[in-house]
């Protein structure tokens, strides 16, 4: 079993409900979701590499939003600072992107030329940089294989679709990685 990321689009009504009780998150109350099965780190790495330096922090926030409901208390956070799992431990938190941040990310993503973006895919670089999943990225483009350019293309299109819809409707995006 490997790590995946899921992005959920939610509206203001659902966000207000979560603000009252963040532990009551339910996929059934989301508008849509996209699952990035073990390829989100490769997608993030390539996005951060491709976009202008000023937009790199926004690309990081796609899967690791800085805003959250129910963050661990300060003592727990201090103990996590030295942990390799720091980015992934928010088991009690709901990490989200505000409609403003969704729109900012969409403004960057919608301008990305897909062919030029995919041309940056280099499995040797992903492997040498230790991008998760480690040492598994490759050039074989068979449709039944993951961790190749086709897999990144599908992930990029899924990312683009959810951000477009959430931006148009001024919705939130909730991100879970684990």
Residues 42-81: tens digit of each pLDDT = 999 999 999 999 999 999 999 999 999 986 555 455 555 5
Would you kindly state where each structural domain of the chain is located, as residue ranges? 4-177
What distance in Å separates the CA atoms of residue 95 and residue 107, rounded to the nearest whole number?
21
169 contacts: CB under 8 Å, gap ≥ 6:
9, 11, 31
178 exposure class (CB count in 10 Å sphere: 0-12, 13-18, 19+) = exposed
pTM for the complete prediction?
A: 0.88
What distance in Å separates the CA atoms of residue 55 and residue 44, rounded to the nearest whole number?
12
- With beta carbons less than 8 A apart as the criterion, state whether 11 and 4 touch: no
DSSP-assigned states of every residue in 95-111: EEE-HHHHHHHHHHHTT
Report pLDDT for 97. Answer: 98
Within 10 Å of residue 59's Cβ, how many Cβ atoms?
20
Average pLDDT value for residue range 85-107: 81
Report pLDDT for 79. Answer: 53
In 3D space, the residue among 52, 87, 92 whose CA is nearest the CA of residue 71 turns out to be 92
Report pLDDT for 93. Answer: 84
pLDDT at 95 over 60: yes
Tokens describing residue 80: 């996590």
Within 10 Å of residue 28's Cβ, how many Cβ atoms?
4
Average pLDDT value for residue range 23-39: 95
- Max CA-CA distance within the chain? 48
pLDDT at 112 over 90: yes
pLDDT at 87 over 50: no
- With beta carbons less than 8 A apart as the criterion, state whether 38 and 134 touch: no
Higher pLDDT, 81 or 20: 20
Task: Tell me the percentage of the chain whose pLDDT exceeds 90.
Answer: 80
Please state which CATH number belongs to domain 4-177. 3.40.1760.10
pLDDT at 89 over 70: no
């Amino acid at each position: 079993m490997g790590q995946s990321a899921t992005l959920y689009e939610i509206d203001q009504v659902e966000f207000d409900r979560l603000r009252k009780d963040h532990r009551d998150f339910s996929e059934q109350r989301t508008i849509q979701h996209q699952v990035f099965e073990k390829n989100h780190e490769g997608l993030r790495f390539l996005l951060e590499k491709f976009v202008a330096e000023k937009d790199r922090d926004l690309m990081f926030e796609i899967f690791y939003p800085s805003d959250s409901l129910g963050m661990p208390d300060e003592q727990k956070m201090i103990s996590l600072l030295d942990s390799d799992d720091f980015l992934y431990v928010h088991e009690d938190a709901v990490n989200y992107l505000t409609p403003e941040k969704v729109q900012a990310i969409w403004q960057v993503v919608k301008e990305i030329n897909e062919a030029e973006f995919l041309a940056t895919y280099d499995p040797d670089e992903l492997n040498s940089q230790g991008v998760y999943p480690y040492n598994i990225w490759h050039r074989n483009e068979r449709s039944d294989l993951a961790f190749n350019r086709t897999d990144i293309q599908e992930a990029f299109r899924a990312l683009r679709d959810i951000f477009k819809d959430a931006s148009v409707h001024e919705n939130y995006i909730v991100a879970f990685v684990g």
